[in-house]
Amino acid sequence: MNLTSPFSLALAVIVALSLLGVPVGHAMIGGSVLYLYLKGMDMGTAAEQLLNGTYSSFLLLAIPLFILAASIMSTGSILDRLLRFCNAIVGRFPGGLAQVNVLQSIVFATMSGSALADAAGSGKLMQAMMTKDGKYTPGFAAALSAVSSVIGPILPPSIPLVLYALVSGTSIGYLFIAGVLPGLLLGAVQMGLIYVLARRRGFPVEPKTPLREMPRITREAFPALMLPVILLGCMYSGVTTPTEAAGIAAAYALLISAGLYRSMGWRDLYDALLSSARMSISIGMLIAGALVFNYVITSENIPATLSKSMQGLDLSPLGFLLLVNLILLVLGMFLEGSTIILVMLPVLLPTATALGIDPVHFGVMAVLNIMIGLVTPPYGLLLFMMMRIADVSLTVLMRDVFPFLLVMLGALALVTVWPDMVLWLPRLMGYRG
């Protein structure tokens, strides 16, 4: 690569601005504008690509609506009711509260679609519950909250899968249903590891919930548990589009929070709207920057060049997937997940398609890989979030995260080599890819 070429200079500017603390979306726009200037192209093309990409995609509207639904569900007594329900189900097993942490992440995942929203919504509460009376060390509690939050973006609704659908043109409905078994697999391997660690370390078991209490606990949590049923039912019955289903999810969350549970006041609603707006704007700017930078990548013909290079290596489909996993794992150590989805996956997808790899399988595998990057140093965002919540060092946190990373990588390997785990449910729903 010519280090003085417009593309190389644009990359250097993006990296430099990012290292200086400029948001990645703004950095990509800045580097792209420089590229257009050096190539003698109309710099207004950047604004054209940004506006066309963001305002012509109805699917993008689903992202702030899913974020709003998660913010509303995180307020008031909804989370408390869900935790009591999860405790009644798995609290009696070895490592009771640790098992509850994973199960509540699975339940909350079907409402938020965001790992950061999951960690922010329940991380602080689970940290306090698990470390009370010295039941678990702060490092283990924080590590578990971080890794269990990774389940969120795999199960539907998933914001990262929405982003992948945006850049790949793949059906978001089939992507959502394809993430169910890999997401449950991720939860299963985490709960299995907790069981082993509980036996070795003597983790406490929570008191059994009396059978007579189960109907009341289930009844209290039932309206919240119905949200994913309503969301997915609307989508897969064909009644609504994914974006319309996201709007129904946000409205339903508000209805049960303010109307049924009466746990949300005007101030709580304002805070939920404000936090949702901030997160949506952050993701929106990242998407905008990626759209402009993707135009630069396309102009340089990088996807076609990379595809020819990959085909020249004479890789089998499995060999290519293993190479992609390695690339994404390394990138996940340094880059934020949405950036990888929006910038790297459009470059790799043409090669995957040429090798006959199903785009739904490729997308779910890639998103699972990228989400593991959220708990991989040195950049793992979930690690930094839980460090602040638990007030523990990265060294302490990583010691307890490492065993979970190993079993999660095992789950990733299984998803990679066994496409039917991803594609079985979509095919039952009529997928013919």
User: What is the reported pLDDT for 405?
Assistant: 92
> Is the Cβ–Cβ distance between 139 and 402 less than 8 Å?
no
> Is the Cβ–Cβ distance between 371 and 326 less than 8 Å?
no
Q: Which residue has the tokens 């578990």?
A: 144
User: What is the reported pLDDT for 152?
Assistant: 80
User: What is the reported pLDDT for 89?
Assistant: 78
At a CB cut-off of 8 Å and minimum separation 6, what does 188 contact? none
> Is the Cβ–Cβ distance between 288 and 32 less than 8 Å?
no
Mean pLDDT of all residues belonging to the chain: 82
User: What is the reported pLDDT for 420?
Assistant: 92
At a CB cut-off of 8 Å and minimum separation 6, what does 394 contact? 377, 383, 387
User: What is the reported pLDDT for 121?
Assistant: 64
At a CB cut-off of 8 Å and minimum separation 6, what does 392 contact? 138, 139, 142, 386
Angle at which helix 115-131 crosses helix 62-73, to 10 degrees, equals: 20
Per-residue pLDDT of the chain (433 residues; tens, 9 = 90+): 566 788 888 888 888 887 787 887 888 888 888 888 888 887 787 777 777 766 666 667 777 887 787 777 776 567 777 778 887 878 778 877 888 888 888 877 766 666 766 676 667 777 777 887 777 888 888 888 889 888 888 888 788 898 899 888 888 889 989 999 999 999 999 999 999 998 888 887 777 778 788 888 888 888 877 877 787 778 777 777 777 877 888 888 888 888 777 777 888 888 888 888 887 787 778 778 877 887 887 787 776 676 677 666 777 889 899 999 998 888 887 777 777 888 888 888 888 888 889 999 999 999 999 989 888 877 677 787 788 777 888 788 888 899 999 999 999 999 999 999 999 999 988 888 7
User: What is the reported pLDDT for 189?
Assistant: 95
